[in-house]
């Protein structure tokens, strides 16, 4: 998860400033009779359990003996994705669990290491705190094997927070006790053993697989406690399982390799089709999913980056995944990875009439790609910051295109949207996830075309911006359709990614 154990322990001890309420043995109680060992009696039939397993590589989870997690996968949805890396934040536990707890990426919560210096939890509190603010009667429980989970990440108003000092067995037993005999509405658990094995033995070791097996048994203990509840049959449980980062084969994390950036979300409960898989769900979606399931209205002013999972819908670019191709000129991408195409989805076009001939084939003009393909083109050039894109996205990359000889002139390509009907509308909003990165001469411009008229500027980009854009558009009277153009030019500069394009009028 982090750094050497003595340093981790010292940091954790220094960070523990919150009041931690210990779980103690007690007489089993009905889930609806009153408080249990300091935990208020919950008020909701909707229940949520989030289980974090630190430092767990998805590829190793699949090969490990992990029947309990795999049962949750078989009975629900599994989504895989990749984390950020520097310069957004390294693949460390502080940024990872903060992202999961708050529902925003590190460029908002500002946690970039395990000291939590500069954290903006005042602006982006954890989901337990938001639940308490929305309804103080909500019963919230947080138990963490890594003490900064309760001292820093979930440092708000959760009813009970227990720091277990890297004791996964006690984390599981305390959680099982509260879940079986108490009545929490929302629970977050954190297990640490897998990450410890990764640091001590490496992500490719037999000990790492054994640690996954061990924690899987603890997951089973907790899930069985949920199912043993006397009111379980009348409750609506959503169980989410995730991790904060992966590990290198040799052990360790913090870098930008594919093994370190691996992450996943397992969602089990009503509405999640058994055995289903997705590529557009990310750990940042966990917090808003919990909030919605527990009935807390999500205020757009909060600026959450994630969405409730049931509100994430594929866009036109995602439909291209089955037709993606393997590499042509790129050498750093494995031949087994299919991740790009120049063929746009239905209704979209790409104008390359201003593009010189030649250059790297994959990036000649706007392309449609996946993170695992595009970031592998060359690590450490900020491509790992493209966290707001989901699944397949559009990308214009003058830097990679320029790595092969080409005709005279700069990269100059325009991505053109379908026409949107707007008869009778006086205004509308163009929204999209965009990551605009500059590293040399470069321009990015959004234009609107009313009916078949002349393109008119909507917004120009000349400096770095990584955000979800919402651009207002005034529609002239009598207009029937609007269409948008994304024109990018660059001379061995950086890139522009665009995804989830939508227009509402």
In the chain the domains, ranked by start, together with CATH numbers, are 5-20+46-311 (3.40.720.10), 317-504 (2.60.120.260)
Residue 4 burial (CB count, 10 A): 9
Average pLDDT on 169-184 reads: 98
pLDDT in tens, 411-450: 999 999 999 999 889 999 999 999 999 999 999 999 999 9
pLDDT, average across residues 176-189: 98
The pTM assigned to this predicted structure is: 0.92
- pLDDT tens-digit series, residues 82-112: 999 999 999 999 999 999 999 999 999 999 9
Per residue in 189-220, pLDDT (tens digit) is 999 999 999 999 999 999 999 999 999 999 99
Long-range Cβ contact pairs of 68-72 (< 8 A, separation 24 or more): 68/216, 68/217, 68/219, 68/220, 68/223, 69/216, 69/219, 69/241, 69/266, 72/219, 72/223, 72/239, 72/241, 72/266, 72/268
Q: Is the pLDDT of residue 9 over 90?
A: no
pLDDT band at 114 (very low <50, low <70, confident <90, very high): very high
Q: How many whole angstroms separate alpha carbon 346 and alpha carbon 210?
A: 47
- Is residue 331 a contact partner of residue 368, using CB atoms and an 8 Å limit? no
Structure tokens at 364: 């000649």
In the prediction, which pLDDT does 71 show?
98
Q: What is the pLDDT of residue 424?
A: 87
Q: For residues 182 and 176, give the distance between their C-alpha atoms in angstroms, rounded to a whole number.
A: 9
> In angstroms, rounded to a whole number, what is the distance separating the alpha carbons of residues 305 and 284?
7
pLDDT, tens digit (0-9, with 9 covering 90-100), for 465-478: 999 999 999 999 99
Q: What is the mean pLDDT of the chain?
A: 93
- What percent of the chain clears pLDDT 90, i.e. is strictly above it? 92
Tokens at 417, concatenated: 């949207």
pLDDT at 273: 98
Collapsing DSSP to helix, strand or coil, 93 comes out as: helix
């Amino acid at each position: 998860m982090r750094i050497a154990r003595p340093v981790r322990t010292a940091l954790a001890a220094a960070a523990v400033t919150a009041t931690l309420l210990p779980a103690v043995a007690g007489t089993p109680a009905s889930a609806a009779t009153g408080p249990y060992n300091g935990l208020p009696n919950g008020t909701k039939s909707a229940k949520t359990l989030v289980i974090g397993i630190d430092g767990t590589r998805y590829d190793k989870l699949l090969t490990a003996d992990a029947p309990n997690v795999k049962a949750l996968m078989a009975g629900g949805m599994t989504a895989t994705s990749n984390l950020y890396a520097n310069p957004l934040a390294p693949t460390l536990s502080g940024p990872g669990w903060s992202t999961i707890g708050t529902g925003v990426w590190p460029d908002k919560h500002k946690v970039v290491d395990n000291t939590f210096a500069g954290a903006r939890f005042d602006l982006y509190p954890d989901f337990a705190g938001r639940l308490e603010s929305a309804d103080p009667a909500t019963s919230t429980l947080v138990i963490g094997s890594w003490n900064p989970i309760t001292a820093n990440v979930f440092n708000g108003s959760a009813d009970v927070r227990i720091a277990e000092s890297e004791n996964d067995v006690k984390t599981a037993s305390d959680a099982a006790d509260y879940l079986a005999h108490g009545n929490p509405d929302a629970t977050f658990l954190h297990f640490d053993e897998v990450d410890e094995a990764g640091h001590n033995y490496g992500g490719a070791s037999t000990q790492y697989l054994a640690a996954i097996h061990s924690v899987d048994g603890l997951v089973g203990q907790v899930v069985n406690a949920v199912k043993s509840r006397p009111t379980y049959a009348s409750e609506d449980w959503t169980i989410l399982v995730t991790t904060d980062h992966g590990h290198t084969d040799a052990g360790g994390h913090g870098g930008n390799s594919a093994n370190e950036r691996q992450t996943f979300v397992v969602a089990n409960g009503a509405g999640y089709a058994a055995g289903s898989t997705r590529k557009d769900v990310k750990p940042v979606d966990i917090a808003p999913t919990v909030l919605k399931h527990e009935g807390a209205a999500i205020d757009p002013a909060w600026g959450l980056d994630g969405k409730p999972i049931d509100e994430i819908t594929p866009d036109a670019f995602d439909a291209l995944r089955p037709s993606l191709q393997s590499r042509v000129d790129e050498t750093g991408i494995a031949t087994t990875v299919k991740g790009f195409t120049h063929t746009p989805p239905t209704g979209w076009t790409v104008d390359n009439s201003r593009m010189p001939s030649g250059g790297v084939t994959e990036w000649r003009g706007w392309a449609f790609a996946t993170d695992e393909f595009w970031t592998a083109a060359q690590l450490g050039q900020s491509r790992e910051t493209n966290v707001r894109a989901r699944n397949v996205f559009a990308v214009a990359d003058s830097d990679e295109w320029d790595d092969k000889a080409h005709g005279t002139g700069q990269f100059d390509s325009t991505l053109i949207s379908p026409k949107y009907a707007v008869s009778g509308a006086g205004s509308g909003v163009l929204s999209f996830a965009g990551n605009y990165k500059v590293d040399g001469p470069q321009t990015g411009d959004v234009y609107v075309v009313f009916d078949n008229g002349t393109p008119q500027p909507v917004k120009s980009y000349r400096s770095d911006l990584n955000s979800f854009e919402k651009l207002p558009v005034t529609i002239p009277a009598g207009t029937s359709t609007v269409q948008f153009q994304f024109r990018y030019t660059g001379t061995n500069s950086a890139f522009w990614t665009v995804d989830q394009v939508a227009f509402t009028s």
